[in-house]
Amino acid sequence: MNIRSKIVSLACLILIIGLSSCKKEKQSEIDNIGQNTKQKIYKGKPISKDFDSKIDSLIAEMTLEEKTGLLHGNSMFATKAVERLGIPELKMADGPLGVREELEKDSWAPLGLEDDYATYYPAGAGLSATWNPNLAYTFGNSVGEETRARGKDVLLSPAINIIRTPLGGRTYEYFTEDPFLNKKLAVPFVVGIQDNDVAACVKHFAANNQETHRDYVNVKIAERPLREIYLPAFEATVKEAHAYAMMGAYNKFRGEYLCENDFMLNQLLKEEWGFEGVVISDWAAVHSSVNSLKSGLDIEMGTPKDFDEYFLAQPLIDSAKAGKISETEIDKHVKRVLRVMYSVKSMGSGDRKEGSISTEAHFKDAYNIAAESVVLLKNDKNLLPLDASGIKSLAVIGNNATKKNALGGFGAGVKTKREITPLEGLKNRLPESVNIKFAQGYEERYSKTEKAKLGDVTLNGPVTIDELDPKLVEEAVEAAKNADAAIIFAGSNRDYETEASDRASLELPFGQEELIKKVLEANPNTIVVMIAGAPYEIDEISEKSSALVWSWFNGSEGGNALADVLLGDVNPSGKLPWTMPKKLEDSPAHATNSFPGDKTVSYDEGILVGYRWFDTKNIEPLYPFGYGLSYTDFAISEAKTNKKTFTDNDTIKLNLKVSNIGEFEGKEVIQVYASKPNSKVERADKELKAFKKIEVNTGESVSVDIELPIKELAYYKVSSKQWVVEPGTYQLKLGNSSRNIMSELEIQIQE
């Protein structure tokens, strides 16, 4: 470590200690498990019922018009206030990557203010690549503070739908293909937001796993995959984090729109799980008045049109007057809204948190997440970390070296004053002795006339122009040839990966594959860095390159974090949160030819989503779920369980030794997968059931404790509508990726 990095590290340490001590009080429950590793347990505060009698008397005083005003948007992002009774608007803001800028009251146009800049945080896939629940809390808490500073009550985040297809337009925004990783990140995220007197609105409930036909497609999922794959994270945000709001999705599920789906909203969410917050519709996802309300929707939000025409506005008033819905039913929903208002202290208490926005502390939070998210896919010739003292010239190639990704993507856009690009990050970090030559290499271009096609289904996503400009290629090749080393920043962007459309193919856009191959030929010391939120078909590039890095739409400090990884000030510790297939047809939704459907999409792969499919069907992925290298090597030894035989209510206590046997200090993610050989029911080859991220110094070993509650091994028994732990032998597979199992243990579960 050089002196500069030591000073930076010391400053960071002081900052981190300072920050963590001020944040400590906020966490609802903290527990330390294991040595050397702090695993915190995050539990949210249930919705407040302390003000119920006050709420009842307020409702008794309200007119029907005033009541319905609380149940629908009266501007793009707020409900109606009842000033005479001191009831404010419920103010909402997007979104998952940071607090969105202010928009006009009745259009999607930005107001163009000077005081609505925010921190741009790494997108969901980046956060989940950290495999670090403590960073999910940091993220939630940080963006929660920003939400408060902007005077909002509800943040429309996190977005946690399961990644079913690598083509999904919102793959970058969502977390993962795995339900366990999903819930372990979603819970602290929600707790972090809500620790700031802000409601998290978890979205999009549920089964919204594609953008194609999202306004009407009817999703069919069998009960087991629904319960085991698509719902666990939503359920955990309700039961453990006590999320105060849930967003109903656009599409249909089993024949009913999700904003008027009695099974999903009333029976499952509210009755079975005990959700006490509000169900807010996605924007313009409502199709009826009485039916929506009776089916469990509480608030209708929408796109620009006369707010009185919303289904839950004048039409609801008319229905009530015509006796089609009782005022008692309407009151139930109004009460929920008011409870949320009291819980986030927009009513009642005077001691509401004020928050802060765009601060250095928040940029540091964004940096910390980004730094742990970068995934090292390949480093065959140890080109990385790049030794800055050993080179005089560096070619930096590719449009993504200078591309900014904060804005765009509808609800996931952030207006920020800081977005460090990869090129800027390198300039900030490299010594002046290194001469940097930038060459754009490829252009980001889209066709204005062509439509995307996937099979015979026309999609509405952007169609890229994939021809390279020979002049730009020549410049790039020359730059690479004449430099000691080259880094090519390729991948995608948030205009191409976006809400409202899925990608039509897994191919890299804009002719990048050809360019990368040419640059690799021109200079063997070329490092390929992909910046994207979703998998791409990169098997040839992977084969031809010796150093391959995966980074994300990584927030305000993304470029600095990436440069620190490339130069070795940060040892990479990111792990893929999804499987990188060799080709699209290997992925379950495509292998079963069940994407995107037309009026209906049936999830034919059942429970075999993501790596569950690849492992069970013996299909070799390009890079497996949970995969990511480090500049050092780790060894696992002495793995044991506290006992060999367990019952339903037990918790398996695993202990193992993790040794850093390489030359860099670093972080590793110990992943625990479970298999049930000879099961009576269909099972995936293995499933993630526990994980822990730990830090180990060079030459040292640490003892790591990991807890695995037996109930995590249950499957959903459809006939009895119960979670059942099947008795018998289970194998626990410990490794640092789903395909690098380093130790196996066997346990028994008694009848």
Tell me whether residue 311 or residue 613 sits nearer to ligand BGC (CB atom): 311
Site string for ligand BGC, 472-501 (x = CB under 6 A): ---------------------------x--
Of the pair 247, 476, the CB lying nearest ligand BGC is at 247
| Binding mask of the shown chain, residues 149 to 168, with x at each position contacting ligand BGC by CB under 6 A | -------x------------
- Asked whether position 611 contacts ligand BGC by CB under 6 A, the answer is no
For ligand BGC, the closer of residues 312 and 485 by Cβ is 312
Rounded to a whole number of angstroms, the minimum distance from the CB of residue 94 to ligand BGC is 5
- To which residue do tokens 């995590």 refer? 712
CA separation for the pair 103, 150 (Å, rounded): 13
> What is the nearest approach in angstroms of ligand BGC to the Cβ of residue 282?
5
Quick check: 739 binds ligand BGC (CB under 6 A)?
no
Q: Which is nearer to ligand BGC, 95 or 628 (CB)?
A: 95
Provide CB contacts within 8 A for 367, sequence distance 6+. Answer: 555, 556, 557, 560, 561
Residue nearest ligand BGC (C-beta atom): 411
Least distance to ligand BGC, CB of residue 337, Å: 18
Q: Are the C-beta atoms of 200 and 189 separated by less than 8 Å?
A: yes
Residue 292 CA to residue 296 CA, distance in Å, equals: 6
Separation CA 619–CA 632 (nearest Å)? 29
Q: Where are the beta strands (DSSP E) in 95-173?
A: 154-156
**Cis omega before residue 333 (within 30°)?**
no
Q: How far is the CB of 173 from ligand BGC (least distance, A)?
A: 8
For residues 122 and 409, which CB has a smaller minimum distance to ligand BGC in the complex? 409
Residue 207 buriedness (CB in 10 A; 0-12 / 13-18 / 19+): buried
> Residue 590 phi/psi, 5° resolution?
-95, -35
Contacts of 637 (CB under 8 A, 6+ apart): 656, 657, 659, 743
Whether the Cβ atoms of residue 548 and residue 378 lie closer than 8 Å to each other: yes
Applying CB under 6 A, the site for ligand BGC has a residue count of 9
**Euclidean distance between CA atoms 323 and 332, whole angstroms:** 17
Interaction between residue 411 and ligand BGC (CB under 6 A): yes
Name the minimum Å distance from CB 34 to ligand BGC. 37
Contact 374, 550 (CB under 8 A): yes
Q: One symbol per residue from 108 to 147: x for binding ligand BGC (CB under 6 A), - otherwise; what is it?
A: ----------------------------------------
Phi, psi angle pair for 501, to nearest 5°:
-155, 150
Q: In the structure encoding, which two tokens stand for residue 423, read together? A: 């090129």
Nearer CB in complex with ligand BGC: 203/518: 203
Q: Tell me how far apart the alpha carbons of residues 363 and 555 are, in angstroms, rounded to a whole number.
A: 9
Closer of 174 and 595 to ligand BGC (Cβ): 174
* Minimum CB distance to ligand BGC smaller for 168 or for 411: 411
| Nearest distance, CB of residue 7 and ligand BGC, angstroms | 41
Min dist. Cβ of residue 650 to ligand BGC (A): 40
Nearest distance, CB of residue 659 and ligand BGC, angstroms:
44
Q: Give residue 323's region: left, alpha or beta (phi > 0; psi -120 to 50).
A: left
Please state, as a whole number, how many other Cβ atoms lie within 10 Å of the Cβ of residue 13: 10
Query: Which position among 51, 263, 273, 410 is part of the footprint of ligand BGC (CB under 6 A)?
Result: 410
DSSP, residue by residue, 310-362: STTSHHHHHHHHTTSS-HHHHHHHHHHHHHHHHHTTSSS-S-------S-HHH
Q: Compute the distance between CA of residue 272 and CA of residue 492 in angstroms, rounded to an integer.
A: 41
- 94 is an interface residue for ligand BGC by CB under 6 A: yes
206 binds ligand BGC (CB under 6 A): no
- 203 makes contact with ligand BGC (CB under 6 A): yes
In angstroms, the Cα distances linking 715 to 53, 230, 271, 607, 684 are 42, 13, 21, 11, 11
Read off the amino acid at residue 316. L
* Shortest separation between residue 215's beta carbon and ligand BGC, angstroms: 10
Amino acid (1-letter code) at residue 184? K
| Closer to ligand BGC by Cβ: residue 410 or 664 | 410
Instruction: Tell which positions 542-601 bind ligand BGC, by CB under 6 A.
Output: none
**Residue 70 or 156 having the CB closest to ligand BGC:** 156
Diameter of the chain by CA atoms? 81
- Catalytic residue annotation: 282
CA 168 to chain centre: 13
Give the contact letters, 266-305, x = binds to ligand BGC (CB under 6 A), - = no: ----------------xx----------------------
Q: Is 40 helix (H, G, I), strand (E, B) or coil?
A: coil
Residue 388 · residue 431 · CB < 8 Å: yes
Q: Residue 173 — left, alpha, or beta (φ > 0 → left; ψ -120 to 50 → alpha)?
A: alpha
| Nearest distance from C-beta of residue 73 to ligand BGC, angstroms | 10
- Is residue 519 within 8 A of residue 486, CB to CB? The reply is yes
* CB of 366 or CB of 412, closer to ligand BGC: 412
User: Which of residues 34, 44, 95, 628 is near ligand BGC by CB under 6 A?
Assistant: 95
In which residue are the tokens 């319960």 written?
227
Bridge partners (DSSP) of residue 459 are 452
Q: How far is the CB of 365 from ligand BGC (least distance, A)?
A: 22
Interface positions with ligand BGC (CB under 6 A): 94-95, 156, 203, 282-283, 410-411, 499
